[in-house]
Amino acid sequence: MRKFIDLHLHLDGSVPVATVKKLMKEHNMPALSDEELRQELSVDSSCKSLDQFLEKFALPNKLMQTRHDLKTIVYDLLVELKQQGLVYAEIRFAPQLHTKKGLTQEDAIEAVISGLNKFLADQKKQKTSPELHAGLILCLMRFADNQKQNMETVKLAKKFLGKGVVGLDLAGAEGPIPNIKYKSFFDQAKKLDVPYTIHAGEADGPDSIRQALAMGAKRIGHGIRCAEDPELTQELIKKQIVLECCATSNMNTKAFDQIDSYPIKKLLHKGMKVTLNSDDMTVSNTNLPHEYKLLEQQTNLTPAEETTLYLNAVDAAFTTPDEKIRLKALIQK
């Protein structure tokens, strides 16, 4: 079985459909047909923008407001990722989005960590090899009036660093509020030695990526629109900045419009540190094996190029040197 590494995977955008059904039943919510559920949870080719894409997070977020729900979702997702052949994943979520029914951000983080730990313990008992290891990235949100919540997330990332949490991110609708407005949070993260990635160059163009670089980002969530700016592309190559590319998602949000001209291969051959990821499995109705297959079919991605993408992901992962040795050994097998 092939082995995969996903560095850019949103928890709320990847809640397994079977888990949504199970939790809706537990919460006595009206049952939906499979077609109604698909319309609530996933986009199709008619999706016009990132804003429309983000509407699909409404139902999952209703089901992510208790410790039990969060623990269940992360556990079920990890089981699914393991079945797909993943050996390492970084799962991101914004703790401040899970406080609508009385949980604190810290409660939400602890619940997700407990789901992760339960999965890891069960995997050990089952003695299945190779093991799937995972880390959690906490997202700050691009809202107008949540400075206090964002700073709390930064501090909690430090508190739980190495205990399940591996880093920070900035997420949410890109464009209305420039990335640079959030610089103070990432200055603080840097002081606390918390690694981070920043969403940029998806709905917004090259300038958004430049701002992320000015904030010290060594990894960029998406970043695909650097292709519009040759000078920026050269800067990213020179600095060996890693792009977390998500092909199907970029088609859905209209960051890019034709899969057969998706530039991951071209960027790879220029020397860019690109990786391939799933982003939002349920919203985009995809998974990482599907993403690789799609690019093999539509862009003639070769096994040698895929190996380079995997190795780029290992180098960029927010994990320990020992874990990187394990992952490289698995890939080289």
The residues annotated with a catalytic role in the active site are 202
3-state secondary structure of 64: coil
Alpha-carbon distance 198 to 196, whole Å?
A: 7
* CA angle, residues 177, 8, 105, in degrees to nearest 5: 65
User: Which residues, other chains included, contact 249 with Cβ-Cβ below 8 Å and sequence gap of 6+?
Assistant: 53, 222, 278, 279, 280, 283, 284, 286
Cα-Cα-Cα-Cα dihedral sign, residues 180, 186, 187, 188: positive
**Each residue of 59-81: b (16+ CB within 10 Å) or e?**
bbebbbbbbebbbbbbbbbbebb
